[in-house]
Amino acid sequence: MGAVKITEGVYFVGALDRERKMFDEVIPLPDGTSYNSYLIQGNEKTALIDAVDPDAIKQLFENLNTLKVKKIDYIIANHAEQDHSGGIPFLLEKYPEAQVVTNEKCAGILKELLLIPENKFIIIKEGQEISLGNKTLAFILLPWVHWPETQATFYKEEKILFTCDFFGAHIATGDIFNDKNNEEPAKRYYAEIMSPFRNNVTGNIKKVEALNPAIIAPSHGIVHLNPSKIIAYYKEWASDKIKNEVVLVYVSMHHSVKKMASHLHDALVKRGVAVSFFDLAKADVGKLAMSLVDAATIVVGAPNFLAGAHPAAASAVFLANALRPKLKFASLLISYSWAEKASEQLKAMLTNFKGELIAPVIIKGYPKEKDLKQIEALADEIAGKHKEIGLM
């Protein structure tokens, strides 16, 4: 993708990666991703905001060459993670006069990750500004969206806020201003990256709104020409509001747990409860994460596997615990043959869960009529809990 003009003297110069299928070796990328980098040319100095993944440095250089960029004075690092900072060493080779502008915490991480020498940094603090001549850049600290050192850069004259991961989405699109189909990629991204830090998200949204930006330009996905739209999504996702939904996930080796999960699914639907249903042997982790954003309840179905829970079920519980969703209730469906250890193991993994653990349904072997009655009772209890808190 070539350079794209955003406004006078401001260009997208980043890269699209349509072929990348996984991020952090865990997050599926059905729409690929982008590494957004932005060039700001003042009448005295030039700045580059964020520096793409090292695998995409060729595209960045091609875009800079197209714009005939001979000198970069400032390379601004809004976030130290390598998909945004990995190109910095290459840029410092090509533009040796450039200085890396970032906060102290980010500089410390960059020194360790990329071995950038101390004398290449300009350390800024909250609210500090640098001048490019006729353009002014101010810096706003946005910690824990999603690393502790994250910051944003605000081009004051045009009110463009460069937010790095905040308000981003993993999507490779040739039209970086098209927000028509952005809600799902943005929610997937929020669920996977931002949801563990939703209290920090809420506080940092207030900082963003105080600036009243005309444009929000993150470093993944589209440039938001209507910032109120993405801000509204984030406010809803980060709020305490939950929905009358159950996330029901299961793994089944010999159909026993599948039968239990399917029966619970049907029983919940009959009682007016929406269900997001996942077979963990086939599930898209991103869709599972998205379903957890608004749900009131999670139920995990698992067979015993040797002396504990099936690894796929343990992985799903680990993910749910790490993402810290707004869940109010949780329960388990367990089948065993000769010993039952899965339930205690899975419950012990929910260290971040602050809601109510509803008694699990634990059966021996394939579910019989009496076991299905227990599942019906679990559906009654979940529906009753949802009614008690005003979801039905």
Q: Could you tell me which of 365, 375, 305, 370 has the C-alpha nearest to residue 341? A: 305
**Pairwise CA distance, residues 253 & 280, whole Å:** 11
pLDDT at 26: 80
Q: Does domain 4-238 have CATH number 3.60.15.10?
A: yes
Q: What residue has token string 């504990």? A: 308
Phi, psi angles (nearest 5°) of residue 152: -125, 155
DSSP state for residue 224 in the 8-state scheme: B
Q: What is the pLDDT of residue 19?
A: 87
The pLDDT value recorded for residue 147 is 96
For CATH 3.40.50.360, the residue range(s) in the chain are: 243-386
- Range list for CATH 3.60.15.10 in the chain: 4-238
Question: In this predicted structure, what is the pLDDT of residue 339?
Answer: 85
- Nearest CA to 182 out of 206, 218, 209, 142 is that of 218
pLDDT of residue 22: 85
What top-level class would CATH report for the domain 243-386? alpha beta
- For 86-139, give the DSSP string: TTHHHHHHHSTT-EEEEEHHHHHHHHHHH---GGGEEEE-TT-EEE-SS-EEEE
What b-and-e string marks burial along 59-89, b requiring 16 or more CB atoms within 10 Å of the CB?
A: bbbebbeeeebeebbbbbbbbbbbbbbbbbb
Cβ count near 351 (within 10 Å): 7
CA distances from 204 to 97, 123, 209, 272 (A): 33, 21, 9, 36
Residues 6+ apart with CB under 8 A from 335: 256, 257, 260, 302, 303, 304, 362, 363, 364, 365, 366, 367
- What pLDDT is recorded for position 62? 97
> Which of the residues in the chain have pLDDT under 50?
none
